[in-house]
Amino acid sequence: MAGGPLEGVKVVDLTTVVVGPICTRTLADQGAAVIKVEAPGGDILRYLAAGSRTPAMSGKFINFNRNKRSIVLDIKQPEGLAALKRLIAEADVFVSNVRPAALARAGLDFEALRPLNPRLIHCGIVAFGTDGRYANRPAYDPIIQSLSGVAGTFERATGEPRFVPMVMTDHIAGLISAQAIGFALFRREKTGIGESIEVPMFESMASFVASEHLGAATFDPPEGPSGDARLLSPDYRPLPTQDGFITVRPNDNRQAFAFFDAIGRPELKADPRFKDPLARTRHAADYFTIQVETLKQKTTADWLEIFAKADVPAAGYNRIDDLLDDPHLNDVGFWQFDEHPTEGRIRRTRVPVTFRGGMRQETLPAPQLGMNTREILAEAGYAAEHIEAMLASGAAA
Amino acid sequence: MAGGPLEGVKVVDLTTVVVGPICTRTLADQGAAVIKVEAPGGDILRYLAAGSRTPAMSGKFINFNRNKRSIVLDIKQPEGLAALKRLIAEADVFVSNVRPAALARAGLDFEALRPLNPRLIHCGIVAFGTDGRYANRPAYDPIIQSLSGVAGTFERATGEPRFVPMVMTDHIAGLISAQAIGFALFRREKTGIGESIEVPMFESMASFVASEHLGAATFDPPEGPSGDARLLSPDYRPLPTQDGFITVRPNDNRQAFAFFDAIGRPELKADPRFKDPLARTRHAADYFTIQVETLKQKTTADWLEIFAKADVPAAGYNRIDDLLDDPHLNDVGFWQFDEHPTEGRIRRTRVPVTFRGGMRQETLPAPQLGMNTREILAEAGYAAEHIEAMLASGAAA
């Protein structure tokens, strides 16, 4: 049924919103069989974003939850919790983004589950590492953007702290979680034993920011201020042309000198401010000023033609809606159209990473809440009567 | 020598700047043995960023290249290319971010290398997928931010296209590449055969943005405009308090109603604009206005105490330099100090993701250019005289 490098891997997914769902969607896109376990109310992402045809099926939910099946279990009821444990007993991977204290109270921490399934890979995505004072604090993406320095990079660049207008830290920590699970699956093939992984969002993003911007403060004592000056320039942005925007990035000497020739300023090749990459970084403000002044003098199309001839890295600017018509994306079949069984015709993205050794073949539609409860319980060995009783009591739905 | 889930995995790394080096640093941090192959001039990241104690060892380079060894080979010389192929013949993974046409010209594409090493996992990180019209165009991170819609999200939020002041798309595509390599290593344990992976940066980031912001345009025809209105609000940012900034994120009903109580506006609990998550998304502007007006009336510390009591997700704001003193990061040993053999005392981040089954034990210092050329050639079976001849001819350095 699947294909893809993770074919045959069974994942039980007790996650909500974005950080967990993008982790498990990544696993699912690459062939894993993912069971999304939802509380009776369902993942809040079903309701949080605008844009849907039927209730609880927002576009954003659909995009983060394709290739999964949904079971509703009320794990506050013993029967619901027992069913979840039965699924975990047969799984390769259990992923949660429940706060660690609550997970342990439910008996779903690694130590409690190990006797049930010694081969289990237990991945806890947490806001803050359990060995520090913020452990168990509640958090969403902007909390982590605020604390990890992401918002701080904007204050350095523009004077105002801002968030990236995406749930970027959720999204990245989710990708890192899928990565860690892949590494653990690899080791388990050799050792045969399970694993407990903890992915702390705050530490992961602080590490991301520090790798970028520790800079001279990498040295102790520091050799200068933190921060990569090129990236923190106010003019580090798509720059206006006569009719739109353009991005040009002449980085090495060949590109920089070709750029100066292309804009009709060959004398700048001899300017000591721009003689090598480090000089251009130190004089980033001047380098950007030249770009700002020059680029507004022609149209985007004219500049793109000039820079293409000179092999200077350059590109136009796509608004979100422009992605729908981008010619390269259309060439590669980036946009696919599916007939969703309950939501009608929908647009989705092709999985961008390709594996020549085989990709997932069939795309499952993002599930309505509890759409697969009966079949999943039956696969787990529950008799039909038992399933009906659980549905009647609300332990499943 | 290593430990970590990727212990025993040999990686040959022909990458530069950030996208490739963060991929291979991630593999190295988790136990892989990474050989960084550099051209005689060295990775441009050595020079691009300010802040260093000795030339070609910038803080940014050090942070993206710990746990690797460096060999300098001039692959334009037949002897240099032959040495690279000898390393690849013994490797598990070969990663490059060379443009595909140039890689094929050097005989380093998957098809050319497969006879040499049928178990090889070949990972090509490319700016644009090879099956579309932008294939082989040069690109750096801001080019991809400009084309993929990342910059476009800022125009929707603030009216001005901007880049995230980090090499975010390089960084994310590198993390995705390490993830894909992990998945391929897992499959290879079962099949015994190698793999070719292509990670296209543009498509990967367009998919990232689309998952976040396709929204109502997920449906065909669209149910409304693209974009997640909450994230695209101009006030989606850390908000000013009496003495600084704070971030508050009351997301579900319990949190939102606790927030209204905490700010002394209990009547808002009955306001239809804020009655559920979808209503609050639809009235995001009003919801943010209430936050802006209220939060400026007390200090950050006062608010944090109030919100902690109410279990409303909230946090202060860290500038880049504040990370160095964050109490939670200190609790978890986030900052480590090493004596670098050539650069003196340096600060580095602990690997944030933890594997209970064992982590990498020893941290290798980021290498000076070609620091390990002799030992790596000797390990590959080159006789001492042969190594000296290669150094004399410049095939190695």
Residue B38: beta bridge partners?
A: B72
User: B394 to chain A, minimum CA–CA distance in Å?
Assistant: 22
Closest CA to A233 of A154, A314, A306, A326: A154
Task: Quick: pLDDT tens for A281-336.
Answer: 889 899 999 999 999 999 999 999 999 999 999 999 999 999 999 999 999 999 99
Q: With 60 as the cut, is the pLDDT of residue B144 above it?
A: yes
DSSP SS3 for B11: strand
Contact flag A183-B311 (C-beta cutoff 8 Å): no
Q: Does A114 touch chain B (CB under 8 A)?
A: no
User: A359 to chain B, minimum CA–CA distance in Å?
Assistant: 11
Residues of B in contact with A343 (CB under 8 A): 219
Measured distance CA(B49)–CA(A228) in Å, rounded: 6
Task: Quick: pLDDT tens for B267-299.
Answer: 999 999 999 988 998 898 999 999 999 999 999
**Range A187-212 average pLDDT:** 98
Task: Quick: pLDDT tens for A62-81.
Answer: 999 999 999 999 999 999 99
Tell me phi and psi for residue B141, to 5 degrees: -45, -50
pLDDT of residue A51: 87
pLDDT of residue A1: 45
Helix axes A150-158 and A201-213, enclosed angle (nearest 10):
30
Compute the mean pLDDT over every residue in chain A, rounded to the nearest whole number.
96
Contact flag B313-A207 (C-beta cutoff 8 Å): no
**Range A246-258 average pLDDT:** 95
Q: Does B386 touch chain A (CB under 8 A)?
A: no
> Residue B97: how many CA atoms within 13 Å on its side-chain side?
26
Which one of B320, B324, B337, B338 makes the best mutation probe of the A interface by having the most chain A beta carbons within 10 Å?
B320
Residues of A in contact with B197 (CB under 8 A): 353-356
Interface of A with B in 235-254 (CB under 8 A): 236-238, 245-247, 249, 251-252
Q: Does B212 touch chain A (CB under 8 A)?
A: yes
Chain B's closest residue to A126, CA to CA, is B353
Measured distance CA(A320)–CA(A298) in Å, rounded: 24
Supply the DSSP string of A41-98, one letter for each residue: T--THHHHSS-BSSTT-BHHHHHHSTTEEEEEB-TTSHHHHHHHHHHHHT-SEEEE-S
Closest CA to B249 of A160, A44, A152, A23: A44
Residue with tokens 């090509």: B124
pLDDT of residue B176: 98
**Structure tokens of B110?**
């998957």
DSSP SS3 for B159: coil
Is A81 exposed, middle or buried, given 0-12, 13-18 or 19+ CB atoms closer than 10 A?
middle
**Structure tokens of B317?**
């704001």
User: A31 to chain B, minimum CA–CA distance in Å?
Assistant: 10
Q: Does B3 touch chain A (CB under 8 A)?
A: no
Q: With 50 as the cut, is the pLDDT of residue B39 above it?
A: yes
Q: Does B317 touch chain A (CB under 8 A)?
A: yes
Q: With 60 as the cut, is the pLDDT of residue A218 above it?
A: yes
pLDDT of residue B96: 98
Q: Does A319 touch chain B (CB under 8 A)?
A: yes
Closest CA to B66 of B13, B122, B140: B13
Interface of A with B in 41-80 (CB under 8 A): 44, 47-53, 58-60, 62-64
What DSSP state is assigned to residue A248? E
Task: Quick: pLDDT tens for B61-89.
Answer: 999 999 999 999 999 999 999 999 999 99
Residues of B in contact with A339 (CB under 8 A): none
pLDDT of residue A2: 61
pLDDT of residue A278: 85
Measured distance CA(B177)–CA(B19) in Å, rounded: 9
Measured distance CA(B120)–CA(B194) in Å, rounded: 5
Residues of A in contact with B150 (CB under 8 A): 166
**Range B324-338 average pLDDT:** 98
Residue with tokens 């136990």: B31
Contact flag A323-B139 (C-beta cutoff 8 Å): no
**Structure tokens of A276?**
């090598």
Measured distance CA(B105)–CA(B102) in Å, rounded: 5
Contact flag B161-A317 (C-beta cutoff 8 Å): yes
Is B288 exposed, middle or buried, given 0-12, 13-18 or 19+ CB atoms closer than 10 A?
middle
What DSSP state is assigned to residue B77? S
Q: With 70 as the cut, is the pLDDT of residue A243 above it?
A: yes
Question: Quick one: pLDDT band at residue A47, thresholds 50, 70, 90?
Answer: confident
Q: Does residue B162 contact residue B86 with C-beta atoms inside 8 Å?
A: no
Closest CA to A263 of A216, A235, A289, A297: A297
pLDDT of residue B277: 87
Task: Quick: pLDDT tens for A90-148.
Answer: 999 999 999 999 999 999 999 999 999 999 999 999 999 999 999 999 899 999 999 99
Contact flag B218-A278 (C-beta cutoff 8 Å): no
Question: Quick one: pLDDT band at residue A50, thresholds 50, 70, 90?
Answer: confident
Interface of B with A in 353-372 (CB under 8 A): 353-357
Of B180, B255, B352, the CB nearest to A204: B352
Residues of B in contact with A6 (CB under 8 A): 183, 186-187
Q: Does A204 touch chain B (CB under 8 A)?
A: yes
Contact flag B277-A252 (C-beta cutoff 8 Å): no
Of A49, A164, A345, the CB nearest to B164: A164
Of B331, B344, B353, the CB nearest to A132: B331
Is A53 exposed, middle or buried, given 0-12, 13-18 or 19+ CB atoms closer than 10 A?
middle
Residues 6+ apart with CB under 8 A from B133: A327, A328, A331
pLDDT of residue B310: 96
Chain B's closest residue to A308, CA to CA, is B137
Strands of chain B, DSSP E: 10-14, 33-38, 68-72, 93-96, 121-126, 195-200, 239-240, 245-248, 314-315, 335-340, 344-349, 354-355
Contact flag A153-B161 (C-beta cutoff 8 Å): no
Q: Does A152 touch chain B (CB under 8 A)?
A: yes
**Structure tokens of B150?**
């990342």
Amino acid at B317: Y
Q: Does A299 touch chain B (CB under 8 A)?
A: no
List the domains of chain B with CATH numbers. Answer: 10-208+356-393 (3.40.50.10540), 239-316 (3.30.1540.10)
Residue with tokens 């476009």: B152
What DSSP state is assigned to residue A218? G
Tell me phi and psi for residue B225, to 5 degrees: -70, 155
Residues of A in contact with B238 (CB under 8 A): 146, 151, 161-163
ipTM over 0.85? The verdict is yes
Contact flag B183-A355 (C-beta cutoff 8 Å): yes
Which one of A122, A320, A339 makes the best mutation probe of the B interface by having the most chain B beta carbons within 10 Å?
A320
Measured distance CA(B150)–CA(B142) in Å, rounded: 9
**Range B202-211 average pLDDT:** 98
